[in-house]
Copies of this chain bind each other. A is one copy, B any other.
Amino acid sequence: LDRHKLKWNGWGLADKTFELGERADALWKFLADELAMDSLDHVPPRALEAHAPSPSALAESIAAELAAVVGAEHVKRDPYERVFHSAGRSFRDVVALRIGPLPSVTDAVVYPRNTSEVERILAIATEHGIGVVPFGGGSSVVGGVEPRRGRDQSSVLTLDTSRMNDLVSIDDTSQTATLQAGIYGPELERKLGERGYVLGHAPQSFEFSTLGGWVAARGAGQQSNGYGVAAALLAGATVATPSGLLRTGVFPNSSTGPDLKQVIAGSEGAFGVITEATMRIRSAPERRDYRGYLFRSWDAGVEAVRDIVQQGVPIATLRLSDPDETYFFGTFSSLGKTRSGARRVAEQVLSQRGYGRGGVFLLVGIEGAIAKVVGAVARSTTICVGHGAIPIGTGAGKRWYQGRFEMPYLRDPLLDRGVAVDTLETATTWSNLGRLYQGVREALHGALDSMDRKGLVLAHVSHGYATGASLYFTFVYPLDRTDPLAQWIRLKRAASDAISECAGTISHHHGVGTDHMEWLVTEKGELGMRLVRAMKTSVDPRGVMNPGKLVL
C-alpha cells in the first residue's frame, strides 16, 4: 500500500470519496430535517501546512543511531510523515487533523524491516529513554497511535511496521501461516489466496489495517462468527520488547500456566511490538451467501440471532439493525430515487403486515464449502421464519457485501458539512442485551437533549456468541463548530458511563487506546489493572512502549 495515496486527514484513499451521486441533495435535506439543522455549509478542513509541527525533538545523534539500524532513508522527520503518524482515525483524531491542533506530534518515524531491527530500535529507545509508538495501518479509532511522551521522555518515535510485510511460511498440514505483522489486509489475503487459503479476518478497516494491529487490539472481523476474532485466530507470536524477545510456541492447546497468547492479544503496543504472528488459516470458501430477513420487532430479531448462534448454525456474519438503523438505511438507499409503483405497493403491504417502521433488518452471511452453506442457509432461514421473519433474498446481502468497507468514507463528506458521526461498540450476555441497548441509547439521546441538539442513534447486534453478542452504535449529530471536542467528549462519556453501569465491556473490538482508559479501570478492577501494569513493567521497565496506553 503506497502511503502517499492515502488521505492524511480522513479515511482511506485520497482519490476516493463516498459516492453520493444523485442522492447528495436528498441526503443533505434528509439530514438537515432529522438533525434540525438550518444549513449544511461546506467548511473545508485545514491544510497540512497549517499544522506546522514544532521541530522534531529527536537528537541528531539518536537519529544517526537509528539510521545505522534501518538506513537513513527509513528514518523520517518531514512534516508529512510526522503529521500522518500522529493520529489514528478516531473522531478525536480526525477533528484534530481537520481543525487542529494535534495534541502531540511524533518526533520521527522509523521503518524497520524485521524483528532484529525492531529489537535494535527498542534498545536505542530504552537507552535514551525515548517513547516508541508501534504503528501498523494507523486505523485505530480509539487513539491507539497517539504519540504521547512518557514522563521524563524528551522525545517519542513512531515505529511503522509496514515494511514488515512478508509471508514467512505456510504449514499446509496444520493450516497455519506465519506472517510478518506489518502486512495489510488485502496483501495478506492475496498472498494466502495464491496458496488457496484465507485468513477470513475482515474488519471494516481491512484495507487500511495490519495483522499486528488486529492482534494487538483484539480486533474482530465482519465474518468473525465463522472465522473467529483475531485473538482466536492467533496460534503463536513473536514480540520484540525492550527486555528482549517474547516467543510463544505454536501449540493447538496447552496447560502450562497463563496463556501468553491472550496477553499478547490486547497488548496494544504497550508491552512490545508484535513482529510476527502465526495464524490459523482455512481453505478459501467455495461459496459466499449473504441474505436479508425482515422482522416485525427488535425483540423477535434478537431471539432469532440468539437461536442461530446457540444452535451452532455455522454462519460467518450476522448483523441485526435496530428499528432506527433499519429505517435510516432503508431511507438512505432510496434517497433521490423514484420508487416504482410496484415497490411502493410492496412497501405498503409489508407495512400493513407489521414490517414497516419498527421492523428490523437482519443480514446473515454464510461462507464455506457448498454443502455447508446450503445447509446453514436452510437452518438459519427456518429459525428466522419461526420468529416471524420474511426472507427478502440475497439482493440486500450482496449490496452489503460489496459495500462492506465503504461506510467509513462517509464521515469525511459529512464533517465537511458540519455533520458529526461516530461509532462505538460493546458486548454483553444475551440476558443483559436489552438493558445495555436501552441504557446506551438513552444516554446518547439524553446527552444530545441536554445540548439541545437532535441526533440519530442507530444500533445493530453483530458478532454473536453462545453467551452473548456485540452491540454497535452509530450516532450522528450537528457538529458544534466552536468546540467539537468538548461536545464529543460529553457524548462519549455519557455512552461509556452507560456501558459501564449496564455491565457491558467498554470495547468489543475497537480496543482501549486513549479513549477507553478511564473505563478500562472500572472494567478490569483495581487488581486487574495491577496485573496488567505488572505485565508491562516486567518487559518494559523504563516505560518505552506506547506511553500512556493500557496502563498509566
From residue A39, how far is it (CB to closest CB) to chain B in Å?
39
Task: Find out whether the CB atom of A255 lies under 8 angstroms from the CB atom of B218.
Answer: yes
Contacting pair B539 A254 (CB below 8 A):
no
Contact B429 A257 (CB under 8 A): no
A314 to B, closest residue via Cβ: B312
Kindly report how many copies of this chain are found in the complex they form together: 2
Interface centre among A229, A262, A432, A504 (most CB of B within 10 A): A262
The yes or no answer to A505 lying at the interface (CB within 8 A) is: yes
Ranked nearest first, the 5 interchain pairs of A and B with the lowest CB-CB distance are A534-B538, A252-B468, A252-B465, A262-B262, A218-B255
Which residues of chain A from 30 to 89 have any CB-CB distance to chain B below 8 Å in the complex?
none
Q: Does A467 contact B (CB under 8 A)?
A: yes
A–B complex contacts, Cβ < 8 Å, 18 sampled: A174-B432, A174-B467, A175-B430, A241-B527, A246-B531, A249-B503, A250-B467, A251-B504, A252-B428, A252-B468, A253-B470, A255-B266, A256-B523, A258-B263, A258-B531, A258-B532, A259-B262, A312-B372
Distance between Cα atoms of A246 and B529 in the complex (Å):
10
B246 touches A259 (CB 8 A): no
Does A501 make an interface contact (CB < 8 A)? no
Q: Does A396 contact B (CB under 8 A)?
A: no
Stretch at the interface among A191-199, A346-354, A383-391, A506-514: A506-514
Give chain A's interface residues, CB within 8 Å of chain B. Answer: 171-176, 217-220, 229, 231, 235, 241, 243-268, 280, 282, 306, 310, 312, 314, 372, 427-432, 463-470, 503-512, 516, 520, 523-528, 530-535, 537-539, 550
* Contact indicator B266/A257 (Cβ below 8 Å): yes
**A531 CB contact (under 8 Å) in B510, B526, B538:** B538
CA–CA, A82 to B252, complex, Å? 38
Q: Which of B259, B466, B508, B520 touches A280 (beta carbons < 8 Å)?
A: B466
A469 and B252 contacting across the interface, CB-CB below 8 Å: yes
* Inter-chain contacts of A523 with B (CB < 8 A): 249, 254, 256
Contacts of A249 in B (CB 8 A): 503, 505, 523
CB distance from A407 to the nearest CB of B (A): 19
Given contacts A280-B467, A466-B175, A534-B538, contact A253 B524 (CB under 8 A): no
- Which B residues lie within 8 Å of A248 (CB)? 528
Of all chain B residues, the one with the shortest Cβ separation from A526 is: B244
* Nearest chain B CB to A398 CB, angstrom units: 25
> Which residues of chain B are within 8 angstroms of A282 by Cβ–Cβ distance?
466
Docked-complex contact B506 and A256, CB < 8 angstroms: yes
The answer to whether B527 touches A243 (Cβ under 8 A) is: yes
Cβ of A444 to closest chain B Cβ, rounded Å = 21
| Shortest distance from the beta carbon of A499 to any chain B beta carbon, whole Å | 11
Which residues of the other chain, B, contact A467 by a CB distance below 8 angstroms?
174-176, 235, 250, 252, 280
Q: Are B430 and A173 in contact, with the CB atoms below 8 A?
A: yes
A368 to B, closest residue via Cβ: B312
Q: Is the CB of B251 within 8 A of A310?
A: no
* A474–chain B nearest beta-carbon distance, Å: 18
Chain B nearest CB, measured from A423 CB (Å):
14
| Given A463-B253, A537-B534, CB of A174 within 8 Å of CB of B262 | no
CB contacts (< 8 Å) of A372 on chain B: these are 312
Q: Which residues of B contact A252 (CB under 8 A)?
A: 427-429, 464-470
